[in-house]
Amino acid sequence: MEKSLVLLKPDALDRGIVGEIIHRFERTGIKIVGLKMLVSNEDMARGHYTEDLAERRGEAVRDLMIKMISSGPIIAIVFEGVEVVEVIRKMVGATEPKSAAPGTIRGDFAHVSFKHADEHKMGVYNLIHASGSPEEAQAEIAVWFTPEELVSHNPSYTNITLKKGQ
């Protein structure tokens, strides 16, 4: 079983769509093994938005993302499931909301472009972060959760679904 981190960013909480987003994941049978609401401090945000982001998009973009994710409460969730990183990424949609397909979380609830964000010197308000690989998920989960905060459990519907799908 694979784990993945999802962060519902301050704009998702501000918009009041947290329940809708979590509901979409729950409907797939993906299991929640960690969930908490917090306000990120700058150290946690820097631990999440690593130097790798600065190398890919520039230090200014990294700083804007750190400022954005630290601007209000977030909800951090660890999901567990079969190939869950890929499943979640598909459900979330493209990082740039205006490019996200309809039916994805970003495609249905966000519309900001990279161009708009760059012109206004702001982070991209795209509602949600989802780990990009199992290795990235492992590192990101360690930023937001201690091992004691993750709960192992086996819902009966998950066992039935996995047995039928084997």
> Does residue 118 or residue 55 have the better pLDDT?
118
Q: Are 97 and 113 in contact (CB under 8 A)?
A: yes
> Does residue 135 or residue 163 have the better pLDDT?
135
Mean pLDDT for the stretch of residues 39-63: 82
What integer pLDDT is reported at residue 159 of this predicted model?
A: 53
Which token pair is 94?
């493209």
pLDDT digits (tens, 9 = 90+) for 115-140: 998 898 888 889 999 999 999 999 99
Which is the catalytic residue, given 23, 111, 116, 129? 129
In this predicted structure, the answer to whether residue 151 has a pLDDT above a threshold of 80 is yes
* Alpha carbons 143 and 95: distance in angstroms, whole number: 21
In this predicted structure, the answer to whether residue 160 has a pLDDT above a threshold of 80 is no
> Is 48 labeled as catalytic in the residue annotation?
no
> Does residue 114 or residue 162 have the better pLDDT?
114
pLDDT digits (tens, 9 = 90+) for 58-100: 788 888 889 999 999 999 999 999 999 999 999 999 999 999 9
Number of Cβ atoms within 10 Å of the Cβ of 1: 12
**What total number of domains does the chain contain?**
1
Domain span holding position 112: 2-165
Residue 157's pLDDT band, with cuts at 50, 70 and 90, is: low
In this predicted structure, the answer to whether residue 165 has a pLDDT above a threshold of 70 is no
- pTM of the prediction? 0.88
What integer pLDDT is reported at residue 58 of this predicted model?
A: 74
Tell me what percent of the residues of the chain surpass a pLDDT of 90.
67
What integer pLDDT is reported at residue 62 of this predicted model?
A: 84
> Does residue 54 or residue 154 have the better pLDDT?
154
CATH number of residue 62's parent domain: 3.30.70.141
